Amino acid sequence: MNDANATRVNIGCGLSGIPGWVNIDNSPTIVISRIPLLRRWLKAPPWPRDVKRLDVRKGLPFSDGNVQYIYSSHTFEHFSYEDSLALSKECFRVLKPGGAIRIAVPDLGLIVKEYLSDPAPLASHTFLSRLSLSHSLRDILHPGSHHSQMFDSRSLIHLLGSAGFVAPEVKSYRQSVLPDIEQIELEVRRGESLYVEAKKQ
């Protein structure tokens, strides 16, 4: 197989989608940013033209076994567990045998470890604020502002295993079988992220 022609999907790409990938995000500001007057008035971010707006909770627009690589960074924590499991099963469906998925999420294990070692009297409050589990009206325009769940390595590996992937494993920053990983995986997320990767057999 020629990797150059492989279908590569970036779920929840934000503003950092890269050429050669199908870049997907569901922010309503994508539509706003493409209407010049609204973009200036609402100060919408400058979304790249190749980002497709799509609610992946409703499924992925690919036929069975048609995708070689899937990447998603800091997206799954914004869904309910049920939605993230359904999306994981969709990813399994659209991947080719031998295809790979890589998911990055905020690392709950790391956040807990830092909380337990923090001697500050309000460490508990800092811990809760870092979880970002509250929701507000701001979520309408910025659905990525808050989290609906958090993952540690056990729960993220369990999620992918429940979707059908065999032997998901924790990986280091930019340690991956995915091409373009140096471009797609952001340095700014390195210190806070858990990375788990799996292949479809």
The model's pLDDT over 48-82, given as tens digits with 9 standing for 90+, comes to 999 999 999 999 999 999 999 999 999 999 999 99
Question: Which pLDDT band, with edges at 50, 70 and 90, does 3 fall under?
Answer: low
- The third-level CATH classification (topology) of the domain covering 3-107+138-199 is Rossmann fold (3.40.50)
Domains of the chain by residue range: 3-107+138-199
pLDDT value for 43: 81
User: What residues contact 118, with CB distance under 8 A and at least 6 apart?
Assistant: 126, 127
Question: Which pLDDT band, with edges at 50, 70 and 90, does 44 fall under?
Answer: confident
Which of 1, 15, 4, 135 is closest to 77 using CA atoms? 135
Which of 88, 70, 65 is closest to 23 using CA atoms? 70
pLDDT value for 115: 97
**Parallel, antiparallel or unpaired: strands 95-106 and 51-53:** unpaired
Beta bridge partners of 95: 67
Least confident of 3-7, 38-42, 64-68: 3-7
Q: Please determine, for residue 86, whether its predicted confidence score (pLDDT) is greater than 60.
A: yes
pLDDT value for 38: 80
Question: Which pLDDT band, with edges at 50, 70 and 90, does 40 fall under?
Answer: confident
